[in-house]
Structures are given as C-alpha cells and as structure tokens.
Structure 1
Amino acid sequence: MKWPKEITPSFVGKLIRAEKDLKKAILVFDSATGEYSNGFRHDHTTFGIMISRFVSANQFKAAEDLLKRMKDEKCMITDDLFLSICRGYGRIHKPLEAIRIFQKMKEFDCEPTEKSYTTVLSILVDENQTKMALRFYKYMKQTGIKTNIVSLNVLIKALCKDRGTMEAALQVFNEMPIRGFNPDSYTYGTLINALCKYGNVIEAKKLFKEMDSKGCSPSVVTYTSLINGLSQSDNPNESIELLEEMKSKGIEPNVFTYSAFMDGLCKNGRTSHALKVFEEMRSKNIKPNMVTYSTLLNGLCKEGKLQEAVEILDRMKLQGVKPDAGIYSKIINSFTNVNKFQEAANFLDEMILDGITPNRVTWNLNVKIHNTVLQGLLADGDLDRASRLYLNLRTRGISVEGKSFDSLVSSLCKKGDLHKAMSIIDEMVVDGCVPNELTWKAVVEVISDTSKLQEISEYVN
C-alpha cells in the first residue's frame, strides 16, 4: 500500500483499528514496517493494538509471537499486553494458559503489578478453579502484594462458590473494616447472591438492609438475587414489595429479574399474576428467554391451565425461542394427566417436526412420556394412532416398556389381527421383555379354529 512520506504510530494504529478484516489489518501492520527507511518503527501502542486484534480472533500464538518480537526489538512491554492475552484465555475457558502467560511476564522484564495478580485471580474464580484461586491468593500474599478492595472482593467471590466455605467468606467480609477497607456494593451483592443460592434468605435480607444503611446502592443483579431467593419461599408478597421498591428507585428490572419474580408467583399458584407480569415485561420490550417461558409454562401446566400453556408455547415459537424437550414434556405430560391422549400425541408429533430430540438428562422422561401416551391411546381404543406411535418409537430407538407391548398385543388381538400381534411379540422378546399371562391369554382367545393352534404353539414352545 502507498504510505505518506511521514508516518506515525498513531496513524498506523488508526489504520489497524479501522480495518475490520484481520488479514488486511495484518497487511497494514506488516507493510508499515517497510517504512523503516523513513524512520518508522512499531511502538508499544501499535504492537498492543495488533495483539488485541489477534486475541479477539483467538489467534493466541500470533499474539505471543508479537510479544517475542517486541522483546527482540527492545520495545517497552507493560503488563497490560500480557493481561489482554490472559483475559483472552479466560474467555475461552483456558485458565491454565492464563497462568502460563502470567508466569512469563518476568522473562520479558515485565514486573507483575497488583492489577496483574488480581486479574489472574479473577480469571481462576470465574472459571470455578476455586482451590487454585485460593492457592494463588496465598501466593500473592507471600509475594508481598498488598491487599486491596478488589482482591478482597474476588477472594469473597471464590469462597462463595462453595457452601462449605461460605462461613469463611462472611468472616473475610466482617474483617474488612479492621483491615481498613469498607465493603462496597459488589461485596454485598456477591454475598447476597450466594446466601440466596444456599437458601439463607434471612441472612441475605439482613445484608441487603445493611448495605442500604452504609450507602451502598444495590444493583439490578443484587435485587434479582434477592427476589430469586424470596421466590423460593412460600410468601411471594415480599418479592412483590421488593420489585416495586426497585422500580421506585429507578432501577429497571431485566429479563432475569422478571423470570425470578414470575417463578415465585407460579410456585405459589399465582399464574394469573405471572401472566400480567409477562405482559408488562413485553410492553417494555424486554424479550423473554427460555427460563421465562419454561417458568410460566410449568406454572400453567401445574394449575391445569392447558389452553393458556399452549398459547404461551405458540408465542414462544413465534418469537424465535425454540422450545426444548423439557418444555414439550411439560405440555405432553399435562395432557396425559387429564387423559387427553390425542392432544398429547399431537404434541409428540409437533416435537418431532420441530427437530427436538431429548438429551441425556431428559431421555428417561421422554421414554416414560412416549409410553404413557401409547398406553393411553390403546386404552381409548385408538389402535391406528397407537400403532403409528409404536413404529415411531421403534424407528427413533426409544425403549418400549413391557406394559406397552402387552397393551398393544391385547388391542391387536381384540381386533383379530393375530399376525401383527405375533409380530409384536417377536419384537417384544428381542427387546428382552417376557409376555405376561394375560397377553398369551389374549392371543389364545383370538384363535378361532384348530388350524391356528400350530401357529401359536410355535411361539409358546
């Protein structure tokens, strides 16, 4: 590319930032070095911009190679460059790589700062490497790194990761004023969230009141945590009051706040109120997520409001949120509970058409629901629909229960279709199910002449 007679690092930096295509940004970076005859050399800024671009694209080797080049060219290297790579590794869930980069800092004559230590500690905590994080914190103290409010907050967050270390987190919190640090909103928010998660809502409420008296403003995350904790109790009125208080302070609830609030209403049989909250949420252009829909559908199904549940499912699909096997299972199970097996079968078909397949967690539930619908259809005398469902189960590899086999054979025998009945028995035996006495009795009863005794005796023997 053509360059002006005089180029500066700031000019090159602007060109690299402006280029959206990484390959073209590399070309800009490399071609700039061809201007050495004009006195230009990359500095800390241009190297840093290019390293950031590589990290954003997950090209970590290229980023690390630039660090080596900086060292060779005797360019100033600060901890910010190393930390950008560390954070990148943290983003892709490779905390050990972040540690490796941190340990390389001294090789590049870059002394880690308090910020460096705290950043790596935070990465370990966020990646649930709690034991490693606590060892790293101990190493920080041994190295002589001074404790600050940020590192203490990260330490508390690490201790809050496990119920067994929750007391230690509270102890660090209580000792903060003695060490000369006042807990801030982040400190309180972390503890309140953890206490609610572990079911200690009473202690969480105390801290919530305390933080207000200390001039620490709760964030939307803190309010959501406490609303979620209160929602698990039998008295949702407190969460209603808290939501109103939140709004009065100008803190707008988000999708997580509304979902937690609706969960409490639905668990306490107040789905009508939950539906109003759902409409309020949508009127504010807050898009419901999977948790929102699942919560509302679960509550409606639990109260037997199947028509409303189906409407919510339809709205969910129209808004581009794809229901999973668990949501379909709630709907289907609710229809089977009221003996509406035709409707249940329709939703099984819809589930297949939507390409929804159960995962490892929902597989057993899926097997149970399919067999329940199959048996219900047979009990209603809908043999044709039941037969189609049976073939679907066989095709998709879903286990057929012994009771389903017996019911299907009995229904076929009542229809006089001995050939199909015996075919089902063959498949039943292959699957390791033994026909019971009633099943054989149904087969025998359908035989109307002695010429078929030979046919049945072959299966019995």
Structure 2
Amino acid sequence: MSSKSMMKWPKQITSCFVERLICSEKDLDKAISIFDAATAEYSNGFRHDHSTFGLMIRRLLSANKFVPAEDMLVRMKQDKCDISEDIFLSIYRAYARVHKPFEVLRVFGKMKEYECEPTAKSYVTVFSILVDESQLKMAFKFYRYMREKGIPASVASLNVLIKALCKSSGTLDSAFRIFHEMPKRGHTPDSYTYGTLINGLCRAGRTLEAKELLIDMEANGCSPSVITYSCLIHGFCQSNKLEDAMELLKDMKSKGIEPNVYTYSSLIDGLCKNGHSLQAMELLERMICKRLVPNSITYSSLIYGFCKEGKLHEAIQILDRMKLQDLKPDAGLYSKIINGFCEISKFQEAANFLDEMVLSGTTPNRVTWGLHVRVHNRVIQGLCSEGHPNQAFQLYLGLRTRGISVETNTFGSLIRCFCKRGDLHKAGRIMDEMVIDGCIPDVETWNAMLDGFWDRKKVREAAELLLAKLMDEF
C-alpha cells in the first residue's frame, strides 16, 4: 500500500509540510515513499522545490545511498528545479566521508551539466578533500587548475596548499615560503595556518622550531587550540623530550585549554617508551577522572610499556580494563604479553593467552603475521622444554589447521620430546609432516628418533642378533 493511500494529504500541500513529514520519518524507505507520494498524480498540484529535493538528497547521503542521491539530481534537472552549489557541497563531503576522492572529482566535473557554476567554495572544498585523502599529486594539479580558472588565492585555499606541502616529503620549506609571503599579498595567517605548520614541523622532528612558532603564533594574536598543543606534545614525546612535553601540558592548562584523549595518549605513549609506566598509569587515572574515555592507543601504549618493564601483572590488568570497555586487543598486543610470559619461562600461561586470542577471533594482519608465527613456535618449543608435550601437540595441531608455518626447531622439539616419552607413533607422524613441509631434520632429531626405536626391546634384540650373525660370518 502506498504512502498516499496510507495517509490523508491536505488539499493544499506546502514544502514545509512535506519537509516535516520527511524529517519525522526515521525509516529512509518510508521517507522516500512520502517524498514520491507528495506529487503522485499531481492531484494537488504540488511540485518539489529546492528545499525538499535538498532534504531528500541529504537523507540519502547520510545513509551512503550515493546512486539514489545522484538520481535525485537528475530529477531536479528534469523538473527544471534550481540546483544550488550547497547540494553539490553535500555530495562532496559525503563521498569524502567514505574516502572516495575521485568520486568527488567526478561530481565536480558534472556541475555545469546541471547549470550550476562552481564558486571558490567548491574549488577549495574539492582541493581540501584531495589533500586530506593524501592524493597530493592530484591535489597540486587541481590547485594549478584553480588558478588557471581565475580562482583568487584566499587564506582558506593557501591553508590547504600549506597543508599539502607539509604532508609531502621535502616540501616543508616551500610551505614556509608561502606562509611568509601571505602578509605581503594581503592575507593574514590564522590559527589554522600556524597549527598546520606546527604539525608539519613536529612530523619532521623539528620540535624546537615548532615551539618557537607557537610563541610567534601567540605574539601575532592567534590562539593555539588543544589540537595545536597536542601535536607539539606528540612531537616532543616522539623525540624523547618528555620534560618539554610535560611543560607544554602545564602551559596549556594555565591558559584554560583542557587536554583531550589524544593529548593524554601521546604523553602516556612517551612515558611508557622511556620506562615510566607507573607515571603513565597516573596520567590514565587523571584522564578518567576528567571523564575522558581511553582508546585502544592509550591502552596499547600502557601494555607495551608494562611488558617492556617486565610488569606482566599490570599489563594483564590493563588488558582486562580494555576488554571491559569493549575494545578488542589486536594480535600485536596479545603477542607482547605472550612473549612476556615466554621471557620468564611461563609457557603454560603463554599458551592460555594464545588460546584466548584464537577463541576471541583475533587474527593478525600483514604487519603482525611474522610476529604471530614466531610467538606460536616459541610457545610450543617452550612447552616441550618444560615437559608439557600434550599441550604442545594440541597447539601444534592448531597451527597446522590454521595454516601457520611450523619452524624446523619446533618440529625438532616435538620429536625429541615424544621420543623421550616413548611415544614413537606421534614422533613418527611429526617427522613425516616435517619432511612433507620441506624441513630437513638435523642430527639431533635423527638421533632422538633412532634412540627412541633402539630403546624398544624387539628392535634392540633384532639388532644384537644381526650383529652376532655378522660377527659369526667373519
């Protein structure tokens, strides 16, 4: 049943009335039905205008329904409805939200088809999206196109250009040349300009220059934001200048600028990397008191720091807090804790965390895969050395099931362990699989197998009888 038959429409329908209906309907499909029903059969003479079309397009974009949204543009053109630049700006931002910069360029190129002339706002928006998505080659090309089209330079466009130059390696000095030229051409650098350059300097490890620029920024009447301070603090922490970072924290607080999660996380990471995990823990408690919610990066830094200092109990406590907050530890974090247990020869505890990782569905990515393989093999070898062959064998079977490579040393450890226990059936099976995998047993492994069979009474008696016969023949 259509929306037209389900509801009673007034004789006189207005755009405001249709907008209210669409806004009040949470279900997108029903909202579309209302939109279509408003003009059904044109019995009431209502035609959609720029405001109702614009609202429907924004609703579709918010749900990432890009094709239907662009179809609405076609309907607007067919209905000879004026299409404003604001609608295109909404489409650009929606595509940018899902990281599709080339779709932004495509739609920008179609503006004139809809008799909509792009202004400087559209040009700068598209340019900014290309830079944010790190499509720097295309961004510089688009900037040249802007200038060819006569789009005048503005603080907004120059800020985006400076950001692009700060992101591109080796062009930071070019960004500063534009910065110094701005006042000569009637453009006053703003807080965003300074913040972008400070971030660029910090990324390049030029933290002292960044701090000097902060002083210059304030002297020129531009107030630094929490983002500016956080970038500087992160830069100092990356350069192992913790005292300078802590001084900046005090400085921003004295100016009434409250640190955010990124600020605290940067400081916590810096402290943990330099062996000050307990001090980092104090910062964690302070940020929680301020009702700031720690993120995965915050917890990861603490876990790495505690593991580095051999404080596994504290690391596990942080891991538990992380899971209580519904944040899923990655394979790298689990590997850090597992390796920590291996360092102190607690291989059963390490194996338990391996099981937990597998059961939670945590899988390594391309970066952590090699670490993942080494950790598994290390635990199996450790379990063998500590006399836990059955647990080692179960873990070994899990490796083969999940396609994780088994190292030559791991095969050898298992074979020697089972031979020592007299379980030659498992030892032989592992030896077969070792050879199939292309691993060559070493002398120690072969000797373990031979010793294992030699200890069997019948094999020993047969060998002794054969030796006696050979002696008789001579």
Any idea what SS the aligned residue of 1:282 has? helix
Q: Which residue of 1 aligns with 2:208?
A: 202
Asked whether the 8 Å contact 2:416–2:449 carries over to 1, the reply is yes
Distance 1:104 1:302, change over 3 A: same
What residue ranges of structure 1 are gaps of 5+ in the alignment?
457-461
Return the match for 1:371 from 367, 377, 384. Answer: 377
Q: Which residue of 1 aligns with 2:334?
A: 328
**Bigger shift: 232-241 or 1-10?**
1-10
CA distance in structure 1 between the aligned counterparts of 2:416 and 2:261, rounded to whole angstroms:
51
Q: Which residue of 2 aligns with 1:346?
A: 352
CA distance in structure 2 between the aligned counterparts of 1:85 and 1:14, rounded to whole angstroms:
22
Say whether residues 1:428 and 2:451 are aligned partners. Answer: no
Once the two structures are TM-superposed, the CA of residue 451 in structure 1 deviates from its matched residue by 4.1
What CA deviation, in whole Å up to 9, does each residue of 1:245-284 have, x standing for no partner? 2222222222111110101111111111100011111122
CA distance in structure 2 between the aligned counterparts of 1:24 and 1:389, rounded to whole angstroms:
53
Q: Which residue of 1 aligns with 2:413?
A: 407
**Bigger shift: 271-280 or 332-341?**
332-341
Asked whether the 8 Å contact 2:408–2:434 carries over to 1, the reply is yes
Asked whether the 8 Å contact 1:193–1:225 carries over to 2, the reply is yes
Any idea what SS the aligned residue of 1:160 has? helix
Once the two structures are TM-superposed, the CA of residue 341 in structure 1 deviates from its matched residue by 1.6
1:177-188 residue pairs with structure 2 within 5 A?
177-188=183-194
Q: Which residue of 2 aligns with 1:66?
A: 72
Distance 1:64 1:396, change over 3 A: closer
Return the match for 1:123 from 101, 123, 129. Answer: 129
Q: Which residue of 1 aligns with 2:57?
A: 51
CA distance in structure 1 between the aligned counterparts of 2:37 and 2:425, rounded to whole angstroms:
80
Once the two structures are TM-superposed, the CA of residue 185 in structure 1 deviates from its matched residue by 0.9
CA distance in structure 1 between the aligned counterparts of 2:319 and 2:243, rounded to whole angstroms:
28
Say whether residues 1:189 and 2:195 are aligned partners. Answer: yes
Percent identity reads: 60
Q: Which residue of 1 aligns with 2:236?
A: 230
Return the match for 2:117 from 111, 114, 125. Answer: 111
Q: Which residue of 1 aligns with 2:361?
A: 355
Say whether residues 1:271 and 2:273 are aligned partners. Answer: no
Once the two structures are TM-superposed, the CA of residue 2 in structure 1 deviates from its matched residue by 1.9
Return the match for 1:245 from 230, 251, 256. Answer: 251
- Aligned-residue CA RMSD in angstroms? 1.9
Return the match for 1:174 from 163, 177, 180. Answer: 180
CA distance in structure 1 between the aligned counterparts of 2:28 and 2:152, rounded to whole angstroms:
40
Q: Which residue of 2 aligns with 1:395?
A: 401
Once the two structures are TM-superposed, the CA of residue 307 in structure 1 deviates from its matched residue by 0.9
Once the two structures are TM-superposed, the CA of residue 170 in structure 1 deviates from its matched residue by 1.7
What CA deviation, in whole Å up to 9, does each residue of 1:20-69 have, x standing for no partner? 12222222222222485555322211111112112222222322232223
CA distance in structure 2 between the aligned counterparts of 1:229 and 1:91, rounded to whole angstroms:
27
Distance 1:34 1:351, change over 3 A: closer
**Bigger shift: 338-347 or 182-191?**
338-347
CA distance in structure 1 between the aligned counterparts of 2:41 and 2:449, rounded to whole angstroms:
93
Matched letter for residue 96 of structure 1:
F
Q: Which residue of 1 aligns with 2:138?
A: 132
Asked whether the 8 Å contact 2:377–2:407 carries over to 1, the reply is yes
Distance 1:455 1:422, change over 3 A: farther
Distance 1:11 1:343, change over 3 A: same
Asked whether the 8 Å contact 2:39–2:45 carries over to 1, the reply is no
**Bigger shift: 302-311 or 414-423?**
414-423
Say whether residues 1:5 and 2:6 are aligned partners. Answer: no
**What TM-score, normalized to structure 1?**
0.94
Once the two structures are TM-superposed, the CA of residue 233 in structure 1 deviates from its matched residue by 2.4
CA distance in structure 1 between the aligned counterparts of 2:203 and 2:180, rounded to whole angstroms:
20
CA distance in structure 1 between the aligned counterparts of 2:166 and 2:201, rounded to whole angstroms:
8
CA distance in structure 2 between the aligned counterparts of 1:374 and 1:448, rounded to whole angstroms:
26
CA distance in structure 1 between the aligned counterparts of 2:237 and 2:41, rounded to whole angstroms:
65
Return the match for 1:307 from 291, 306, 313. Answer: 313
Matched letter for residue 84 of structure 1:
S
CA distance in structure 2 between the aligned counterparts of 1:32 and 1:385, rounded to whole angstroms:
69
What CA deviation, in whole Å up to 9, does each residue of 1:92-115 have, x standing for no partner? 222222112112222222111111
Any idea what SS the aligned residue of 1:164 has? coil
CA distance in structure 2 between the aligned counterparts of 1:142 and 1:330, rounded to whole angstroms:
54
Say whether residues 1:448 and 2:455 are aligned partners. Answer: yes
Q: Which residue of 1 aligns with 2:93?
A: 87
Once the two structures are TM-superposed, the CA of residue 71 in structure 1 deviates from its matched residue by 2.4
CA distance in structure 1 between the aligned counterparts of 2:121 and 2:456, rounded to whole angstroms:
91
Distance 1:425 1:9, change over 3 A: same
Asked whether the 8 Å contact 1:83–1:102 carries over to 2, the reply is no
CA distance in structure 1 between the aligned counterparts of 2:202 and 2:106, rounded to whole angstroms:
35
Matched letter for residue 50 of structure 2:
H
Distance 1:100 1:449, change over 3 A: closer
Once the two structures are TM-superposed, the CA of residue 150 in structure 1 deviates from its matched residue by 0.8
1:14-29 residue pairs with structure 2 within 5 A?
14-29=20-35
Q: Which residue of 2 aligns with 1:284?
A: 290
**What TM-score, normalized to structure 2?**
0.92
CA distance in structure 2 between the aligned counterparts of 1:418 and 1:108, rounded to whole angstroms:
80
CA distance in structure 1 between the aligned counterparts of 2:63 and 2:239, rounded to whole angstroms:
45
**Bigger shift: 217-226 or 391-400?**
391-400
**Bigger shift: 346-355 or 294-303?**
346-355
What CA deviation, in whole Å up to 9, does each residue of 1:162-219 have, x standing for no partner? 2222222222112111121111111111111122122121221121111111111111
Residue-pair matches, total: 456
What residue ranges of structure 2 are gaps of 5+ in the alignment?
1-6, 464-474
CA distance in structure 1 between the aligned counterparts of 2:271 and 2:259, rounded to whole angstroms:
16
Distance 1:291 1:454, change over 3 A: farther
Once the two structures are TM-superposed, the CA of residue 450 in structure 1 deviates from its matched residue by 7.5
CA distance in structure 1 between the aligned counterparts of 2:418 and 2:75, rounded to whole angstroms:
79
Matched letter for residue 261 of structure 1:
L
